[in-house]
Amino acid sequence: MIVVAGGTGQLGSHVVNQLRESDARASFAVLARDRAKSRHLVEQGVEVRLADYDRPDELPRAFAGVKKLLFISTMAMNRAEQQKRVVDAAVAAGVQHIIYTGLAIRDIETSGVRDLMRSHFETEAHIAASGVAFTFLRNTMYAEAIPVIIGPQALERGIFLAGGQGRVPYASRAEMGEAAANVLLQRGHEGKTYQVAGPEAASYEEVARALSEATGRTIAYQNISPAEQLAALEARAS
């Protein structure tokens, strides 16, 4: 039995679609926290197990009979604590292989998002120390996040970000979902860490150039200072 934890989310939905297309429906279930969000899966014949990560008493029955768990990382502010709780419950229930979706980054210690993203690596360490087989899928930035990052006014005003010449090998959620499903369905991935990323890395200048070609407009990228970036984010939030 396979369980996809987070199967109603944007990445998880792609994993579930891949599993259904592989004709593995009878051998997998989805772990969800929201009954309403999972109703469409039930209607499609997918088994749904309801559990809240912040309610430890609900977790043991969610993992009953499960041998392989795809644990899609959460967005909670208490992610490290929450995810350790899930891992402990899965191991106690007899789960034999945990596949965790973490973060692809060159060096977390020098990253500007270190404090926010360190929990991914803390979760990996906790899984590795648990003694169960593991596979770590370190996902790159979603291509679908580009419009959010560059902002709604990018087509009119251009792209203003403190990105310098940094480059990101973007990939779509559908591509990452396919990769995760393949790991679930195949053998031989135990003990491995995969960097799940696109074949080419792009800078914001190249993103601007691609948008210019696609829209017929002249869209420029302007590198701004971190202080200017912070001020812009605060203005957008106010």
106-131: pLDDT as tens digits: 777 766 666 678 899 999 999 999 99
What is each CA distance from 79 to 54, 60, 155, in whole angstroms?
10, 19, 35
* 216 belongs to a structural domain: no
* 37 belongs to a structural domain: yes
* 208 belongs to a structural domain: no
Domain count for the chain: 1
- Which pLDDT value is given to residue 115? 66
41-91: pLDDT as tens digits: 999 999 999 999 999 999 999 999 999 999 999 988 888 999 999 999 999
* 147 belongs to a structural domain: no
Global pTM reads 0.90
Percent of the chain whose pLDDT exceeds 70:
95
Q: Domain of residue 184: give its range.
A: 2-141+171-198
* 236 belongs to a structural domain: no
* 158 belongs to a structural domain: no
* 110 belongs to a structural domain: yes
* 49 belongs to a structural domain: yes
Q: Are strands 68-72 and 159-161 parallel, antiparallel or unpaired?
A: unpaired
Helix (H) or strand (E) holding 37: helix 35-43
CATH number at residue 70: 3.40.50.720
